[in-house]
């Protein structure tokens, strides 16, 4: 038997949590000469047998995060039989949750990793929405889950960000009579594109308020009623040409419009 100090970090998932905890403990002993050996994705009894056979011939401790009850019980039993110290890093806290909050654990390995993946997908979607906001880069149209089109002040940007927090990559394109729509709009599946419409009076009020907030005259062409009618007529023609679903956002909150968009796309067969 070697005198080398070893901690076997054992997990039925990646085992990053266990390794961090073991490193935190070893730091309290100035790191010592402890060697950490990582054994991940333990999934059956044979894996446990192999670990026990290795550990019993070394100067070692087993630190583990195993949430599958049968594997945990087998590891505890065999460790006791062989005189090996095996420390369960998760079960005491899981039992506390069960007792105090009256909830049962799922006993499924890898759930934290899935949560992390969801987090990173959300961050990626938010970065996508920022990069492809307001037609800054038309290449985003091809890679987006959802493409929003409409005239200025139809909530394209807030909708993009809200949907991004739901992990959808959204590009939004402003429709302006003087600027031809990008060819990419007509190349994507039309059921991934959503048109946003609004009543002329509502848009007029919104644009006037926007000009006021910027310290500009409300008589500017941006809020001119005839100009608004022209823009809305133009955008309607583009939406009909694409054949995309259209939502009137006049009296809808961003959350309500987002729910409608997802429902419409799902109904049209888009995988969300």
Q: Annotated binding site for ADP, which residues?
A: 150-157
Give the integer Cα–Cα distance in Å for 92 and 260.
44
Q: How far is CA 188 from CA 125, 146, 166, 170, in A?
A: 19, 10, 22, 13
Question: DSSP of 65-94, one letter per residue?
Answer: E---HHHHHHHHHHHHHHT-EEEESSHHHH
Helices (H), 111-192: 111-131, 140-143, 156-164
Residues 21, 169: Cα–Cα separation, whole Å: 36
Distance CA 89, CA 22 (A): 9
The position carrying tokens 């888009």 is 270
Crossing angle between the packed helical segments 45-55 and 69-82, to the nearest 10 degrees: 30
**Strand, coil or helix: what is 115?**
helix
Q: Residues at the annotated binding site?
A: 150-157
Element (H, E) at 266: helix 254-267
């Amino acid at each position: 038997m070697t005198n080398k100090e070893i901690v076997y970090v054992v997990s039925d998932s990646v085992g990053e949590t266990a390794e961090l905890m073991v490193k935190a403990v070893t730091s309290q002993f100035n790191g010592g000469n402890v060697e950490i050996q990582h054994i991940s994705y333990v999934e059956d009894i044979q894996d446990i047998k192999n670990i026990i056979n290795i550990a019993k011939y070394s100067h070692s401790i087993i630190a583990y995060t195993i949430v599958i009850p049968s594997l945990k019980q087998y590891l505890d039993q065999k460790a006791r039989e062989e005189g090996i110290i095996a420390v369960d890093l998760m079960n005491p806290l899981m039992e506390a949750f069960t007792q105090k909050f009256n909830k049962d654990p799922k006993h499924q390995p890898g759930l934290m990793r899935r949560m992390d993946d969801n987090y990173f997908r959300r961050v990626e979607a938010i970065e996508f929405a920022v990069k492809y906001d307001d037609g800054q880069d038309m290449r985003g149209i091809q890679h987006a889950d959802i493409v929003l089109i409409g005239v200025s002040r139809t909530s394209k940007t807030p909708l993009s960000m809200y949907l991004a927090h739901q992990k959808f990559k959204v590009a939004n394109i402003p429709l302006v009579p003087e600027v031809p729509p990008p060819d990419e709009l007509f190349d994507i599946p039309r059921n991934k594109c959503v048109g946003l419409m609004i009543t002329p009076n509502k848009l007029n009020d919104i644009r006037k308020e926007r000009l006021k907030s910027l310290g500009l005259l409300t008589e500017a062409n941006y809020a001119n009623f005839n100009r608004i009618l022209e823009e809305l007529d133009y955008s309607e023609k583009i939406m009909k040409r694409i054949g995309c679903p259209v939502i009137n956002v006049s009296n809808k909150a961003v959350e309500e419009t987002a729910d409608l968009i997802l429902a419409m796309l799902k109904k049209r067969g888009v995988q969300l």
